[in-house]
Every structure is written in C-alpha cells, then in structure tokens.
Structure 1
C-alpha cells in the first residue's frame, strides 16, 4: 500500500508541476515577460544589462504608438532580438538621410530607431519592420534597482 500511495503522491506532484509550467509558459508567451537589454543603441535611455518588464498584448493588437519602446526580432538576423523606439506608424512619411529621399511606412509595418542614432542599426538601415517581428512593448525598467522607472508615455 505504501508504494501505491507514494506513486499517487508523486503523480499528483508532477500534475501540479505540469500545470504551473503551462501557466508560466502561457504567461511569458502571450501576456508579458522579462528581457535583458544589451548594446548601445538605446543609450542613454537604456543601458546594457538593464532588465525590463514587457507586455505582448499591444503589439499583437497592432496598437503601438509613437514613442513606445519595443522588443522585436532583428529583420537581418532572426536569432537576435532588438530594442528600439517606434518613431513612425503605418502611413507616416519618414525622411531617410541616405539615400536622401522620403518614404511612407507601409500598412502592417512600423519604423524603429534607437535613441543613440550615431550607434544604432535600425529602420534607417533596414527599412520598415513588419508588425509580425515586434514581440513586445517595454513597460518599465526593474534593474538596476536605483534606476527603476516606467518607460511608457
């Protein structure tokens, strides 16, 4: 009887662990998660090793606004995530320095730029970014503790 009781308790524990794992996965995949920022493109707003809280709902509903900071898949390297600011939305006209011309952001795309324009590969290099590559919108910085701040406007 003790073996059956032990097996029953183990299966019960594994069942709860599986449920919690599923809830955690769904939360991080569809609601929000934590992201560590790296690279100089968003300085001085964000620095390397800042930890950010992000949400996934606004990009999925295509409700981003100018000024939002987002995490997106890099258009030139899909294994890499990028952290940039939305500077133009579908239908907006943007001026490019090289070549010197203007273009409109097409429907289903956003224009992303880093705050550190002299050290950022962004839409000025690879053009408008499809909404499908935008993973999340940054809500706040939670690390380092002395720089905790909301990053939404």
Structure 2
C-alpha cells in the first residue's frame, strides 16, 4: 500500500510539473515569441518563396510600437484562418501613394490611412495581394513583428528593414 501511495504521489508531481511546462509554452507562444513559417512570392527578396522560418515577437504591436518599415505577421483580411507577412508602409493619418493595380491603366492613387488602420504591402510589388487590393487593414489584425530569420541557415539573422 505504501508503495502505491509513493507511485501516485510521484505521478501527481510529474503531472503538475508537465502542466506548468505546457502552460509556460502556451504563454510564451501566444504572448511573447513564436516561430512562424513564411512562404510565397509577395515578400521577395526579403524572404525566400520556398519558405523561411522567422521568430515573431508578440509584444510591440500590443503597445503600439509598430512603425513603418516593420515586417508584421497578420491575419489575412480576406481569410482569418490565414497568416500573412507584409511590410507596414503607413500608419493612421499617413498619406500613402500607390499604383492602382486593379485598374488596367495603372494610375497613381493617394489615400489617407484611417484611424486604427495600417497600410501594408509586400516587398515584391509586382506579385503581392495587399492594401493596394483590399485597402487599409485594421491594426487589430496584426499578430506580431517578424524580427529574426532562423531558417534557412544561409539567411540566419535579423530581418532587414
């Protein structure tokens, strides 16, 4: 009987330790840092079209510290189940001039980013579905700021501005 009690006590201690560890992993991934795969052609040449893995910090956007030039991870405005990487080019109140790709004439348009929104674009202006197509994006869709590339090894380092 005493042996079963000791085994049960060790199992309980192990379960508590495991639950604490899983909780710590969740908090770290959801609120501090996470690794995020980035693939596709819209962020060429910053990211490889076959896929990079970047570290995303999840604090700066919560404190309003995202600035133009930052590469952010955000929920796609057209599909909330999809994450996309884009560069912030304008904050609320900024005037943004862009080439209207929806028009066959490709003329320039200027718009003012409304309050609570950001203007995002991919670095590959010829192949990016971004604010030029769907307009300014609510700031609340930003999930974090990509700051460090961990894969592939030849691209290891900070994400350039």
* Range of TM-score over shorter length: over 0.9
Unmatched 5+ stretches in structure 1: none
SS at match of 1:78: strand
Q: How many residues align?
A: 153
> Could you tell me which of 65, 68, 87 is aligned with 1:66?
68
Which residue does the alignment assign to 1:111? 119
> Structure 1 stretch 5-14 or stretch 95-104: which is displaced more?
95-104
Provide the rounded CA distance (Å) in 2 between the counterparts of 1:126 and 1:26: 32
Which residue does the alignment assign to 1:14? 15
Which residue does the alignment assign to 1:133? 141
Q: Quick check: 1:35–1:53 contact (8 Å CA) kept in 2?
A: yes
TM-score norm. by structure 2 comes to 0.91
Unmatched 5+ stretches in structure 2: none
1:47-85, CA deviations, whole angstroms, 9 ceiling, x for partnerless residues?
132110110111111211111000000001111011000
Measured after TM superposition, the shift of residue 101 of structure 1 is 3.0
TM-score norm. by structure 1 comes to 0.95
SS at match of 1:30: helix
Measured after TM superposition, the shift of residue 102 of structure 1 is 1.6
Which residue does the alignment assign to 1:29? 30
Measured after TM superposition, the shift of residue 97 of structure 1 is 2.5
Which residue does the alignment assign to 2:3? 2
Provide the rounded CA distance (Å) in 1 between the counterparts of 2:118 and 2:20: 37
SS at match of 1:135: strand
